[in-house]
């Protein structure tokens, strides 16, 4: 699903000249958040947008821009927000009809939870405004997760401390 979604994002970035459209990757942490919502049909707000998995699948299968108008502006905003970088999808044991979600479940797309603004989009050719380099498909790479650099710093510190203890 992420490959098709990124293909659509590449196409939209080229069509609308969005130079900072980011690649979306499957995110295990976001999947944990999604799984925490599957039991009671109470979908919490957070740094993501919830989209119906059936709608997303239909959209990606047909690659039909007219479906954006049918599914609504929050769907379009989630799918084409240039700063979205992660996605996670879960199935449901039973439909949440009061929330418009069937058994195929839903996807969370993040980290943006609001419609894109003019400030979110930078005009230019695909990949021309990427702060963290280009992915293979030409989209922008996401910033590294904040926890990973602090973990790396700790690891470096531990190695240096071990050398100091060994050689003194």
User: What's residue 64's pLDDT?
Assistant: 63
User: What's residue 79's pLDDT?
Assistant: 87
> Coil, helix or strand for 49?
strand
**77: exposed, middle or buried (Cβ count in 10 Å: 0-12, 13-18, 19+):** buried
Reading the block at residue 22, the tokens are: 């980011």
Neighbours of 128 (CB within 10 A): 16
What's the total number of domains in the chain? 1
User: What's residue 148's pLDDT?
Assistant: 47
User: What's residue 154's pLDDT?
Assistant: 55
Residue 53 lies in a domain: yes
Residue 29 lies in a domain: yes
Residue 52 lies in a domain: yes
Residue 154 lies in a domain: no
Residue 158 lies in a domain: no
The rounded distance, in Å, linking the Cα atoms of 107 and 165 is: 49
Q: Which residues of the chain have pLDDT under 70?
A: 63-73, 146-168
Name the helix (H) or strand (E) containing 26: strand 25-26
62: domain CATH number is 3.40.33.10
Predicted structure pTM score: 0.79
Cβ distance 60 to 80 under 8 Å?
no
Residue 156 lies in a domain: no
User: What's residue 10's pLDDT?
Assistant: 95
Name the helix (H) or strand (E) containing 163: helix 146-167
Could you tell me the sign of the dihedral formed by the alpha carbons of 50, 83, 69, 54, in that order?
A: negative
Residue 40 lies in a domain: yes
Residues in the chain: 168
Domain that holds residue 84: 2-143
Residue with tokens 């009061």: 98
User: What's residue 149's pLDDT?
Assistant: 47
**163: exposed, middle or buried (Cβ count in 10 Å: 0-12, 13-18, 19+):** exposed
Residue 120 lies in a domain: yes
């Amino acid at each position: 699903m992420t490959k098709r979604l990124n293909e659509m994002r590449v196409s939209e970035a080229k069509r609308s000249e969005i130079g900072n459209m980011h690649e979306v990757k499957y995110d295990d942490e976001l999947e944990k958040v999604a799984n925490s919502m599957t039991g009671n049909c109470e979908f919490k707000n957070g740094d993501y947008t919830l989209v119906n998995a059936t709608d997303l699948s239909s959209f990606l299968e047909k690659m039909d821009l007219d479906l954006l108008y049918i599914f609504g502006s929050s769907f379009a905003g989630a799918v084409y927000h240039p700063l979205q970088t992660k996605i996670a999808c879960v199935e449901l044991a039973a439909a949440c009809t009061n929330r418009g979600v069937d058994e195929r479940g839903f996807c969370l797309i993040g980290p943006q939870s609001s419609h894109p603004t003019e400030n979110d989009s930078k005009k230019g050719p695909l990949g021309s405004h990427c702060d963290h380099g280009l992915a293979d498909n030409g989209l922008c790479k996401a910033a590294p997760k904040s926890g990973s650099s602090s973990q790396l710093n700790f690891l470096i510190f531990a190695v240096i401390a071990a050398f100091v203890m060994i050689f003194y």
